[in-house]
A and B are shown apart, each in its own frame.
Chain A
Amino acid sequence: MTQRHTISVLVENRPGVLAKIAGLFSARGFNIDSLAVGETEVSDVSRMTIVVRGDDRVLEQVEKQLNKLPDVIKVSDFVGKEYVERDLVLIRVDANKSTRSEIIEIVDIFRAKIVDVARDSLIIEMTGDEEKIQALIKLLKVYGIREMVRTGIVAMARGKKD
């Protein structure tokens, strides 16, 4: 079965690790949808959050291969698990006198933020999961999106509820 996987990989924070991991995906013809890397609570350990679409069996193989790497400390796939995922997006959208207030309304509804105002455009910042971000993009498209940048998804498993 082909589906979207959010994979979290704890790795040693050293040169070459990112290339090796990216190589494991590319060698099997997977395109990485998003990739976010950053420090964790332990300074010499980084966490990579990789979003990739692919056949479950082949991805299981990739995850085994990831686990095999000496620089990889832990691999977890969030598919079928309770987790929180967030992506941060910056969107520069066309805004003139007549459209500005409409856009601000949308921004409010989405609990997004306006972080820059120019004469004919706004930069909007929002964090959210994939669905929310797609919804905002859809609405803003009408006004004209000039530029967009995303950090890529970061994810964390939910704590036990009981």
Chain B
Amino acid sequence: MKMKGAKALIECLKKEGVEVIFGIPGGAVLPIFDYLYDDKDIRFILSRHEQGAGHMADGYARATGKVGVCIATSGPGATNLTTAIATAFMDSVPIVAITGQVMTTLVGNDAFQEADTTGITRPITKYNVLITKPEELIYEVKKAFYLAKAGRPGPVLIDIPVDIQRSEVDFKYPDKIDVRGYKPKYEGHPKQIQKAAEAISRSKRPIIYYGGGVIISGAYKELRELVRITEIPVTSTLMGLGAIEYDNPYYLGMLGMHGTVYSNRAIQNSDLIIAIGARFDDRVTGRLDKFAPHAKVIHIDIDPSSISKNVPVDIPIVGDCKNVLREINKLLKKKEYISLIPKKDRKEWWRRINEWKKEFPLKYKNDNKLRPQYIVERISELTKGEAIITTEVGQNQMWAAQFYKYKYPRQFLTSGGLGTMGYGLPSAIGAKVGRPEKVVIDIAGDGSIQMNIQELATATCNKIKVIVAVLNNSFLGMVRQWQELFFGKKYSAVWLQQRKKEYGECKKPEVDKRCGIVPDLVKIAESYGWEGIRVTRKDEVDSAIKKALSSKNSVLIDFWIEEEENVFPMVPAGRALDEMLCDLG
């Protein structure tokens, strides 16, 4: 069937099951928007900044497991998308970004709103392409969706010149696609699986260390089964939270820089690390040459380039976590493997871990001050651990990781790899669009929230109810924490309030400390059509959260927390995992 390129694009998206697109129009995508206007199947959500649209597509993808789609015009539209694309790239999130480009005859001419989009996004996309001929369009869209999802997922960008959107194409959507340069291995090698099962059975002090790959592959059931049948302690990366439920008796919580003391000690003292869908990131390993000195390593990952990248691996298994774990579990249930288990050593191993657990529990000073950890705990309690939590980046992110009780995969959405401030609000909007039945809460900081605060409007105008809980300490808190701990408390460029003398005298005694606060987040929320609630005391926390949960509108709660609260425990950068700082309070 003959149709215009722009129309064909939309038909392709429908064939891929796309139900929503996030984005902003502009000169180089006008033909696409002309057809979107008439389309009844695809919902379009207008963001207020392209970065927001990108994170919305990302949040949608993470919450649902589907491909998220965003669209922007050429030049600044495309460059505004780049932070969101890089965020998705680092966390292996499948999104397809569609950008308009100037006419093919003008490409390279410094035309109005021209940027070399494929050039700029080359290192931050899994694949990208500038369409140069109308007949390439349909195949490339099919390829984009295939590549975004296949193997280790990631963002794909299609750059479409505006004249190609206007030119006639023959619409015939291919059912299948074969990319000869991309053939991910989904099944693990049986020999390696056998070796792994044997090593697991024989190990005396094993630990399972898993990451986001478990969630991406949908392997959480297989992982829980592995833990149940082996009774091996299990620790999660930031990206893996929720795949193992918080109250699993074998779960040690998160590891790494702000992980629990006992999970880090367990890693350091283990004789076998079973790494599943994780990539030994520097925030996880601490100082590399002192990482788990006695441990052999089994590494299961679909991406061969993740294996032996940072930590040498003894038993590599390239494959999809779900398939590999299913096969390993089968073996581990057999008598011949069970008989290999050194039961005494395992018992002793758990005894040591339980001792560390008792000695260094994850805790905070629960006095009558308004502390962020308490707020996250209350959010967890009042949402019964059922909400989808997104975060910004920094202290708020770590408290959200430490103190919310996650039960499911795809429940905790955070920018782990790139660490993008401004991720939480737009990704919460995207998540709510994908999972409207869920309560979605962005746990934010007062620094981060302002990096994409314009998206408050997107929530209002599209009737998307989300909650933002700002842990407001008037600081760029994590940077301040580092300055406090490692730079002699020189708070350089982290204070977000006005200087008091410039602001003049303050009237209200109870808010005296915060008299120079900029902006007033409650007023901002209200002006965007949200409800705003300010909480300055501990006894107001519950009622504010309850009000936010029951309200029809989106609600921002501005919690004025203790300004100099720190995230503990902490492995200082460049130290080994067992050199943790703990809260002295």
Binding site for B on A (CB under 8 A): 11-12, 15-16, 19-20, 23, 27, 60-61, 64-65, 67-73
Interface residues of B in 283-324 (CB under 8 A from A): 303-305, 308-309
Chain B residue contacts of A61, Cβ below 8 A:
305, 309
Chain A residue contacts of B304, Cβ below 8 A:
64, 67-68
Chain A residue contacts of B132, Cβ below 8 A:
15
Which 9 A-B pairs have CB atoms at the shortest separation, nearest pair first? A64-B305, A70-B182, A73-B181, A70-B127, A70-B181, A72-B181, A65-B305, A64-B304, A70-B179
Chain B residue contacts of A69, Cβ below 8 A:
127, 181
Chain B residue contacts of A12, Cβ below 8 A:
181
Fill in one digit per residue for B328-354: 1 if any A CB lies within 8 Å of its CB, else 0.
Answer: 000000000000000000000000000
Binding site for A on B (CB under 8 A): 118-119, 122-123, 126-130, 132, 143, 147, 152, 179-182, 303-305, 308-309
Give 8 pairs: A residue, B residue, CB < 8 Å, sorted on A: A16-B118, A16-B122, A16-B128, A19-B122, A27-B123, A67-B304, A70-B179, A73-B180
Q: How far is the CB of B149 from chain A (nearest CB, A)?
A: 13
Whether the pair A23, B123 counts as a contact (CB closer than 8 A) is: yes
Q: How far is the CB of A42 from chain B (nearest CB, A)?
A: 10
Most buried by A among B129, B305, B308: B305
* A73-B183 Cα distance, complex, nearest whole Å: 9
* A59-B303 Cα distance, complex, nearest whole Å: 17
Chain A residue contacts of B122, Cβ below 8 A:
16, 19-20, 23
Whether the pair A70, B123 counts as a contact (CB closer than 8 A) is: no
Whether the pair A70, B119 counts as a contact (CB closer than 8 A) is: no
Chain A residue contacts of B309, Cβ below 8 A:
61
* A64-B132 Cα distance, complex, nearest whole Å: 29
* A60-B129 Cα distance, complex, nearest whole Å: 27
Chain A residue contacts of B181, Cβ below 8 A:
11-12, 69-73
Whether the pair A16, B126 counts as a contact (CB closer than 8 A) is: no
Chain A residue contacts of B179, Cβ below 8 A:
70
Closest residue of B by beta carbon distance from A15: B130
* A60-B312 Cα distance, complex, nearest whole Å: 13
Closest residue of B by beta carbon distance from A63: B305
* A87-B128 Cα distance, complex, nearest whole Å: 33
Closest residue of A by beta carbon distance from B304: A64
Closest residue of B by beta carbon distance from A14: B129
Q: How far is the CB of A8 from chain B (nearest CB, A)?
A: 15
Q: A61-B305, A70-B147, A73-B181 are in contact. Are A16 and B130 (CB under 8 A)?
A: yes
Q: How far is the CB of B183 from chain A (nearest CB, A)?
A: 10
Whether the pair B119, A68 counts as a contact (CB closer than 8 A) is: no
* A12-B129 Cα distance, complex, nearest whole Å: 13
Kindly identify which residue among A19, A60, A65, A72 contacts B119, using a CB–CB cutoff of 8 Å.
A19
Chain A residue contacts of B119, Cβ below 8 A:
16, 19
